[in-house]
Structures are given as C-alpha cells and as structure tokens.
A and B are shown apart, each in its own frame.
Chain A
C-alpha cells in the first residue's frame, strides 16, 4: 500500500479527490433535484411508449430482447417487478418515487416525472 501511495503524484491525488468530491456532490444534487411529477413514462428504444398516471395501481408488461419486463405502479411508486435481463439490476433498484430505473439490455427506461417534471426546461408546474 505504501508503495502505491509513494508512486502517486500530486496531480494523481488531486484528480482522485476532485473526482470523488464531484461525483458525491453529483449524487446529492441528483437526488434532491429529481422531479417527482405526476406521470410515469416508460421509454422503449428511446421512444416513450407508455405514459401512466402515478395514482393508479397497475401492472404493465413490456416485451423486449430479454423477454417480458413487468413494471408495477403502486401507491404512487414504481418498480420493475420482473425482468429477465442478465443482471437483473433493474429489479434490484426496488421502488422509486423519483428519478429513473434503467434496464439497458431491454432498452427500457422508466422515469418518474414525465413531462411535468422536466428539469432541463426549468418548468415548475404545468396547467392544462
């Protein structure tokens, strides 16, 4: 271990610390800033396929390269109930009430917030 530390330069250490700090800060920000929004949008292959209201409990089955992915909405939260992708990472994320769940192998992205919560455009609410 000591050999390793002696082998690292100042720039190395600085870079490391900066990256750690930046990514940790980024995690704080993204959790705070994530919109909650009224809709759950499920995007398949980059195209929004389902826009579902959060207030209705339901199960949605989405076909994909790795079979059917079952998404469950309950009590305003959403989760991937069942997926057949190799990592099952999406299942492991559990219930979310903000942010997103991604199943890369199945090309599925589930976002909470839909349009009303679109942060980049700086909209605080939507009427209509």
Chain B
C-alpha cells in the first residue's frame, strides 16, 4: 500500500513538472508574430518579447506607424500627400510631412546613383498597365508618355518641406520604394518600444534585427523566380541579423501573352518591362539600399547592376534572364542555396 502511495506521489510530481514545462515554455522570451493587411499587401511583424502582451502592444504600434505612412503615400487615395503632389504637377509645390519628404529624397538618391534605372516618376507609364486584366498599352502610348518620366523634374525644398513636380502630367509612384521605407519606420518604432530583436516584413521587403531567443540569426528565404511546385518555392536561405533585404522579381505581377512575359518592373528609359533579369535580391546594412535599389539593379541588368551593387558596398543575388545566378563575394557567408541552383 505504501508503495502505491509513493508511486502516486511521483506521478503527481511528474505531472506538475510537465505542466510547468508546458506553461513556462509558452511564456518565456518567445517569438511572437502577427500579420495585418496594410499598404495593399500583407505585413508581418515578428518580435522577440517577454510576453504576448508586450509583443502585441509593440506590434500594434508598429502597424499603426506603417498604416499612417501608407495613407500618406497611397497612389490611389485622393487624400494622400502623394496624390496632392501629383494633382499639382506643373502647378504648385506641395507641403508634405517629414516621412513623405524622406521617402521621396531616398527615391531621388537611388535614381541618381543608378542614372535613372530607378525613377519614381514612372507613374504615367505604369498606370497604363493592368496585370490582372492583362492589359498593356500600345507602343505609341508608351512612347508619348516617356518624356514625363524624369526624376530630375522632382523639385524638393527641404527648408519649406515641399515637393514640386515640374511638368504637368507627371505622376509619382512610390510603390517601388515605399514598403522598404515603411519597414524602416516600423523597425525604429519597435526599437523605441524596447524590442531588441525581430523582423518586419512588408511583402518581400524585410528588416531583420537582433537574434532569436536561441541566439541564432533569422532565416529569410529567397523565392525561386521560376518555381514549379510547392517544393521548390525557395531557391536559397539567408541567415541574417541587422540587415535589410529586398527583392524585385518578374514573377510578382505579370501576365503572359504569346509566350512573352509582361511584368511590372518597367525600364524608365523605354517604358517597357526590363528584360535582363528574373529577380534581384539585395542584402544591406541600410534600408536605403534595399527597396528601390533592387528595382534599379533589375533594370540595369547583371553586369551594370552588379557594378552598382559593388560600388555601393552592398551584397546581392542576381538571377539573370537565363536563370544564371550572379552573387557578390559576401553572399557566401550569409546565404545557402538549395540544390539545383
């Protein structure tokens, strides 16, 4: 009888230990993740925090930062600051908030160093395309609007905090650079909330900072531009901490017509989809070189693009139009490629 009592005591202790284990494991510094539809895409924020309440508060705050910024530069919203700028093209400078000014200045910078391979004034051209309905503009329409595409016609006055589009009919589209900027804003906000590690992912624009609770870097998958099934959706995995990653690909928004691929990354000099690359992924310490930069490198092609990457001191993976992968030397330390790539 005594034996049974001891055995039962041991069982009770075992149960208590197991339950404690279960409870504590879901509450110790853990990784928390939330997703919210924002800026016309899905934004996922992952943080390392001590409790789900702490994580939730920080993440929701970061989401609202992104939402507010998104409203300011929303191309399709009449009340956005961007729309005000576009409406007043050729008419007036428009006063804007610091965030909008910041992203526009960043866009101009990238346009400058890429000699126009990235150009936020691509608005009039991209507006004529519809990738869901498979509509593309005529060659004449494309040619006629080309003169409106010129980043040098964006006049920024820092002191007055104004932006002016010099020619009537100019349209600025910040889609190619806004998500990255939003991610940077969110990152700063998370840091302010006291979060030490996490990832902000606005669609494919990613900012990873700090390390996971087990002291390993974050694993970021790089999509395979020509995936054929669920199994080969990733071509590589990057192990990162304190890096910004961005990718531009010809598979994000596109349609096929007569065997040709028409995608959303237009060459500002010709108005047609740039055809030298399938995808470009840039990994850098600074968010400035992520977003719009990948578009610029994509348009420039593997040789000129790689030169720009090296001159800027960042790392990149370029998959050219034939599927050949070009990388910077620094990539080897960070990225592991899947078999077959």
CA distance A37 to B233 in the complex (A): 14
Contact of B221 among A10, A14, A22, A126 (CB under 8 A): A126
Interface of A is mostly: mixed
Q: Are A115 and B230 in contact (CB under 8 A)?
A: yes
Q: Are A76 and B246 in contact (CB under 8 A)?
A: no
Interchain CB contact under 8 A, A18 and B14:
yes
Partner of A10, one of B7, B34, B40, B247: B7
Other-chain residue from A32, A121, A123 in contact with B26 (beta carbon distance below 8 A) = A32
Bound CA–CA A128/B246 (angstroms): 7
Task: Tell me whether B199 and A124 are in contact (CB under 8 A).
Answer: yes
Q: Which of A1-60 contact B (CB under 8 A)?
A: 10, 13-14, 17-18, 20-22, 24-25, 28-29, 32, 35-38, 48, 53-55
Known: A10-B4, A14-B14, A25-B21. A127 touches B36 (CB 8 A): no
* Chain B proximity of A47: nearest CB distance (Å): 9
Contact indicator B18/A18 (Cβ below 8 Å): yes
Q: Which residue of A lies closest to B279 (CB)?
A: A128
Contacts of A18 in B (CB 8 A): 14-15, 18
- Verify A55–B41 contact, CB threshold 8 A: yes
Q: How far is the CB of A20 from chain B (nearest CB, A)?
A: 8
Question: Is there an interface contact between B219 and A10, defined as CB atoms closer than 8 Å?
Answer: no
**Which of the residues A10, A17, A37, A127 comes within 8 Å of B35, measured between beta carbons?**
A37
**Pair B46/A55 contact, Cβ less than 8 Å:** no
Query: Does B206 interact with chain A (Cβ within 8 Å)?
Result: yes
Q: How far is the CA of A14 from the CA of B221 in the complex (A)?
A: 43
* B222 and A128 contact, CB distance less than 8 A: yes
Residues of A within 8 A of B230 (CB): 48, 115
The residue that A125 contacts in the complex, of B8, B199, B233, with Cβ under 8 A, is B199
User: Is B37 part of the contact surface with A, judged by Cβ < 8 Å?
Assistant: yes
What would 12 A/B residue contacts be, using CB atoms closer than 8 Å?
A: A14-B11, A25-B25, A29-B26, A123-B220, A124-B218, A125-B199, A125-B218, A126-B204, A127-B201, A127-B204, A128-B224, A128-B247
Sample of 4 further A-B pairs with CB below 8 A, known A17-B15, A25-B19, A37-B44: A18-B18, A36-B34, A115-B234, A126-B221
Closest 6 CB pairs of A and B: A128-B223, A25-B22, A55-B37, A21-B18, A10-B7, A38-B42
